Amino acid sequence: MKHTLKVVFLISLIMLLACSGQNKLIKTNEKSGQKQEAPFHPVAAENFIQGTISELHDDYKSALLSYSEALLYDSSSVTIYTKIAEQYIRLKKLDSAEKILLKATKRFPDDIEVHHILASIYLTNHQLSKAEQEFKKILELDPEDVDSRNYLITIYIAQKQDLKVAQEYEKMIELGYGNPELWIKAGDIYLKRKMYDKTEKMFKQLLNEFPDDERPYLAMAKLALVKKDTTNAVFWFKKGIEKNFNFDTCVEELRDIYILQKNWDLAIQLIKQVIAKDFSKVENYLRLGELYFQKGDTATALKEFKNTTDLFPDDFRAQFSVGRIYFQKQNWGEAEKYLKKAITLNEGFEFGWVWLGFVYVRTNRLEEAEQNYRRAVELFPEAARMHYFLGSVLQQQRKNDEALPVLEKTLKLDPKNVDAMSALAMIYDNRKVYSKSDSLYQEAIKLDPEDPLILNNYSYSLSVRDLKLESAKKMSMKAVAADSTNGAYLDTLGWIYFKLGNYEEALKYVTRAVEVRDSSAEVWEHLGDIYEKLNDLEAAKRNWKKALELEADRTWLQEKLNK
């Protein structure tokens, strides 16, 4: 039974070979013009069959030998050449495969398969120029070979020949393989090159072919904006919206132009028209509320957002927007209610947790703020800001041992988080680990040289240690210039003047600090120390006494009072 199958299989192979190579086995009598069948050499056929059998058994070396033997007896079949090349490729001998295929191109210059295999070898070897030539030859023979054209486009992209890419896109469009993406990609290339006429031609063709698609209108508007013709851009966005009010991007882009122009009323009118056409989309109601908010009309914004919560009670964004406005109005109770509702509807909404924590901090409910941010850290373990807010709240509660690892984690997640650097530096500063605090302050100032809090804290730390007082004064003056009503900043500058021996200037700044920060025992103590240096011991004791009343654990003040 097996023997019979083998005979049938061999006969089939011979017939297949005869059919597949038939056109190549016919020779033309040039004188008579009549075609005569050339006999297929029996030894070549036998070796070809043996090669095919070896190939089926994955014995590529034997297959290569058999196909090579077949070629010795018959070089008129391109199939034998390609089979030899295939075995070389499988044996990872690409140079040999290339050589046999180049021979084949001389005998069969119009055989597409030969050029395909050559192109694949050149791509494998990253010989892009040679691959390009093969694909171009294939496309001469068969312009509708889309795969080859795509490969050619890929080569041009790799070579950064964007104009050739655009030209190939155009050829695909001409052949009837166009889709909106091709027009847009070609148009974008011409646009980047400032070839505006070509760009317009591509985008207008796109509009003619796909008038019901939003993309042509966006493309035409994009061209106008690049040419800084805002009026024309508005025209195309409006044109798109007239075609279909569900063209959301046209609506958003037109709205953004109005916002940029601070033409709030037109933006609001636009969104109202969209809502009138379609009541079902919550996004449009949210946009309307946001526009009123940006306009500065928070009362109407609040009204619109509340209306949205009634219409779409399960949408967390409307709840958050209401909570945010109540926060701005310092209506902490209502802000808390709506922000809690937002994160109940969507526990994965980061900003809900952030703002709810702000409410707790602003109402001095630090333990609740801590629990809020601990939960947020569980939900968003890779969110640096959540770790920072937790660390900051812990620090405000003087839980520095707990705050320290949390703030260090913040910097691991976000090495350029200046706020976390500043907070960590304060902890190390209080622990007198100055090598770490100074390093953190200096790095933070490099990243944000204008941050008044960092400038103030570092300059005060230096003044306490009597180090680099002139540099400290410069930093402190920058902090005061940034916020001249901040009592802590004024006190720092006054204290630096004190350390420099300029007691009159010290008195001026620390007196101002007391006026805006009369609950700080440290500032009152500083004021007492300055009066002592000015030989007004009675005023000094009066201020030291005030400091002790505010903070009883400043026991050393009793010694000063006993002077």
> What digits encode the pLDDT tens for the residues 442-478?
999 999 999 999 999 999 999 999 999 999 999 999 9
Instruction: Place 561 in a pLDDT band, splitting at 50, 70 and 90.
Output: confident
- Residue 55 inside a domain? The answer is yes
Give 3-state DSSP helix, strand, coil % of the chain, rounded to 5: 75, 0, 20
Query: Residue by residue, what is the 3-state secondary structure of 391-443?
Result: HHHHHHCCCHHHHHHHHHHHHHHCCCCHHHHHHHHHHHHHCCCHHHHHHHHHH
Domain CATH number, residue 50: 1.25.40.10
Angle, nearest 10°, between helix axes 248-260 and 214-226?
A: 30
C-beta of residue 79 within 8 angstroms of C-beta of residue 86:
no
The whole-number average pLDDT for the span 289-317 is 96
* Element housing 36 (H / E): strand 35-37
pLDDT of residue 40: 64
Instruction: Say how far apart CA 160 and CA 164 lie, in whole Å.
Output: 9
Contact 459, 445 (CB under 8 A): no
Classify residue 89: in a domain, yes or no: yes
- Pull the structure tokens for residue 271: 């969104």
Please compute Rg for the chain using Cα positions.
Answer: 40
Q: Is residue 271 part of a domain?
A: no
- Decide if 310 contacts 319 (C-beta within 8 A): no
* Beta carbons within 10 angstroms of residue 457's beta carbon: 24
Q: Decide if 22 is inside a domain.
A: yes
| Residue 26 bridge partners (DSSP) | 37
For residue 117, which of 142, 146, 90, 143 has the smallest C-alpha distance?
90
**Domain hosting residue 83, numbered range:** 1-108
In this predicted model, what pLDDT tens digit does every residue of 149-177 receive, in sequence order? 999 999 999 999 999 999 999 999 999 88
* For range 132-148, the mean pLDDT: 95
d(CA 88, CA 82): 10
* DSSP category for residue 28: E
Instruction: Tell me which of 451 and 16 has the higher pLDDT.
Output: 451
Quote the pTM value.
Answer: 0.66
Q: What's the total number of domains in the chain?
A: 1
Instruction: Report whether pLDDT(29) > 60.
Output: no
Residue with tokens 């090598």: 435
* CA nearest neighbour of 457 among 483, 429, 431: 429
The SS3 assignment for 119 reads helix
Helix (H, G, I), strand (E, B) or coil at 544: helix
Q: How far apart are CA 436 and CA 223, in angstroms?
A: 54
Q: If phi over 0 gives left and psi between -120 and 50 gives alpha, with beta otherwise, what is residue 126?
A: left
SS3 call for 313: coil
The yes-or-no verdict on residue 62 having pLDDT over 90 is yes
Asked, for residue 439, whether it belongs to a domain, the answer is no
Task: Answer for the pair 452, 483: CB distance below 8 angstroms, yes or no.
Answer: yes
Residue 437 to residue 253: CA distance in whole angstroms: 47
Q: How far is CA 1 from CA 5, 7, 8, 11, 13, in A?
A: 6, 10, 11, 16, 19
Q: Could you tell me the CA-to-CA distances from 450 to 133, 155, 409, 458, 468 in Å, in that order?
A: 58, 48, 25, 13, 19
Q: What whole-number distance in Å separates Cα of residue 168 and Cα of residue 545?
A: 86
pLDDT of residue 298: 96
Q: What is the chain's mean pLDDT, rounded?
A: 91
Residue with tokens 């791509």: 123
Share of the chain above pLDDT 90, in %: 86
The secondary structure of residue 27, as a DSSP letter, is E
Instruction: Give the number of residues written for the chain.
Output: 563
pLDDT at 16 over 60: no
Is 198 a residue whose pLDDT tops 50? yes
Task: Provide the pLDDT confidence category of residue 25 given band limits of 50, 70 and 90.
Answer: very low
Cβ(77)–Cβ(110) below 8 Å: no
Tell me if 229 is assigned to some domain.
Answer: no
What's the pLDDT tens digit per position in 415-450? Answer: 999 999 999 999 999 999 999 999 999 999 999 999
